């Protein structure tokens, strides 16, 4: 399997939109790709759009938490956007509340959150 999830760069932000039910190796590849792209591009934000995901199990949940932690060490903030209500309910019941992961309801709000962060950190937009 050489399928990879595309990572797009918009300004200082890397954008990943997960569109299909991913098998585990692709999930792991995405985590590694994001770390490399953060360093290669100097991006200071990552947005992971999970609007299309019907489930997030502990494996994908762990990838989201790991990616947030890894990107923070590489001086980038991660925001997960578009989580469905049923996914949130299920994740909490599963025992994964993703405490270290920032979320926003929509892509627009996620980008705005990163923008505010950047302004706060650098003192300029």
Partner 1 sequence: MTGPRVVEDEQSVPIGSNDDVVRARQTVRTYAQQCGLSLVDQTKLVTAASELARNTLVYGGGGLMRCAAVRSGARVGVHAVFEDSGPGIADLDLALTDGWTSGGGLGLGLSGARRLVDEFELRSEPGSGTKVSVTKWAR
| Residues contributing to the site for partner 1 (CB under 8 A) | 1, 21-25, 54-59, 61-62, 84-87, 89-90, 93-96
Q: Least Å distance between CB 89 and partner 1?
A: 6
Q: Least Å distance between CB 105 and partner 1?
A: 18
Q: How far apart are CA 78 and CA 67, in angstroms?
A: 7
Kindly tell me which of 24 and 32 has the beta carbon lying closer to partner 1: 24
Q: What is the DSSP letter of 123?
A: S
Phi-psi region for residue 66, left (φ > 0), alpha (ψ -120 to 50) or beta?
alpha
Q: How far apart are CA 30 and CA 46, in angstroms?
A: 12
Q: How far apart are CA 72 and CA 105, in angstroms?
A: 21
Q: Least Å distance between CB 20 and partner 1?
A: 9
Kindly tell me which of 29 and 33 has the beta carbon lying closer to partner 1: 29
Q: Least Å distance between CB 10 and partner 1?
A: 29
Kindly tell me which of 12 and 26 has the beta carbon lying closer to partner 1: 26
Residue 70 DSSP SS3: helix
């Amino acid at each position: 399997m050489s399928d990879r999830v595309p990572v797009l760069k918009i300004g200082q932000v890397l954008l990943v939109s997960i569109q299909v039910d991913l098998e585990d190796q692709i999930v792991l590849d995405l985590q590694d790709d994001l770390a490399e792209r953060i360093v290669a591009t100097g991006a200071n934000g990552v947005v992971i759009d999970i609007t299309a995901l019907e489930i997030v199990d502990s494996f994908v949940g762990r990838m989201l938490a790991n990616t947030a932690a890894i990107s923070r060490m590489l001086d980038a903030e991660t925001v997960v956007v578009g989580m469905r209500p049923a996914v949130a309910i299920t994740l909490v019941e599963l025992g994964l509340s993703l405490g270290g992961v920032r979320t926003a309801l929509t892509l627009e709000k996620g980008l705005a959150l990163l923008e505010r962060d950047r302004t706060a950190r650098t003192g300029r937009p």
